[in-house]
Amino acid sequence: MPSQIEKLEAHASHLLDAFIRLTERYSLLDPMLFDSEVPKSRGSGAQARGFLTLRHSLFLSCAQDIAKLTLDSDKRTPSIKSLIAAFDDATLCRDLRDRFAIWVLPSVETETDPEIIEALRRIELREQAERRTQFDEILSRARTNWDALSSEAYLAAFLTIRDKVSAHTEVLLVADKYQFLDIGTLGIKWADMKTAIRAMRELVEALGLLIRNAGFAWESLDEQLGKASVAFWSETKSAT
């Protein structure tokens, strides 16, 4: 049976993978929302309906993933909410802090001079204390950022989209008539999705450091996705 920490590591890894897939989809949606040339060249005339369909589908898919990756409470599903909550377990938090702070230095294992060994150990103890402080700072910042994100009205709106529009098509009784939920009534702005993903990224990065002691090359991913998006829309524009 995997340990609690091993389960958390697996969930943190899956969360990162799922967030990267969300980021990939959003990289195609973003120009449709904020690059005036893209809707001008692809969102009018005979192509207008296809453009709107693609934009709507990408938006719903991203909204569903934002809700799922932030707010899902199912223990089998990795989410920012569940991983942040795991740190409420004081014993688990202590064990993760120890893993973050305590490294084995090969030089200590191979060194034979007692004075050098003692000096290296003093250095290591000092660095361990610094890493423990760093762990607590990252965790404190992550909790603050999560409190801010989870209280945002747009996050609740994305959850409504996931529950009532995307994952399940719900109809409402309005003025004695049944109709689909109008996303326009939820008060979401296009920019809210970009803001949510940016906030999620900080939390996904923090959780990777705290649980897996591993970072991620976000700048490289941004560069790759930016080039792919530009190439895709440039190709589609040149084909008109």
Q: Say what the pLDDT of residue 181 is.
A: 42
Residue pLDDT, tens place only, 172-189: 333 333 333 445 556 778
Give the best-scoring range by mean pLDDT among 46-55, 130-139, 231-240.
130-139
Give me the helices (H) in 104-189, please.
106-110, 114-150, 153-161
Q: Could you tell me what percent of the chain has a pLDDT over 70?
A: 78
Residue pLDDT, tens place only, 188-198: 788 999 999 99
What's the mean per-residue pLDDT of the chain?
83
Give the best-scoring range by mean pLDDT among 14-23, 46-55, 124-133, 159-168.
14-23
SS3 call for 174: strand
pTM of the model: 0.81
Q: How far is CA 115 from the centre of its chain?
A: 47
Residue pLDDT, tens place only, 89-120: 999 999 999 999 887 555 555 655 565 555 55
Distance, CA of 140 to CA of 152 (rounded, Å): 19
Distance, CA of 207 to CA of 9 (rounded, Å): 9
Nearest to residue 235, comparing CAs of 16, 42, 64, 68? 42
Tokens describing residue 120: 């290296």
Distance, CA of 179 to CA of 230 (rounded, Å): 38
Q: Say what the pLDDT of residue 125 is.
A: 64
Nearest to residue 70, comparing CAs of 6, 159, 157, 7? 159
Q: Say what the pLDDT of residue 109 is.
A: 57
Tokens describing residue 67: 């809700």
Name the region of 188 (left: φ>0; alpha: ψ -120 to 50; beta: rest).
beta
Residue 171 binned pLDDT confidence (cut-offs 50, 70, 90): very low
Torsion, Cα of 178, 184, 187, 188 (10° steps): 130
Distance, CA of 183 to CA of 166 (rounded, Å): 11
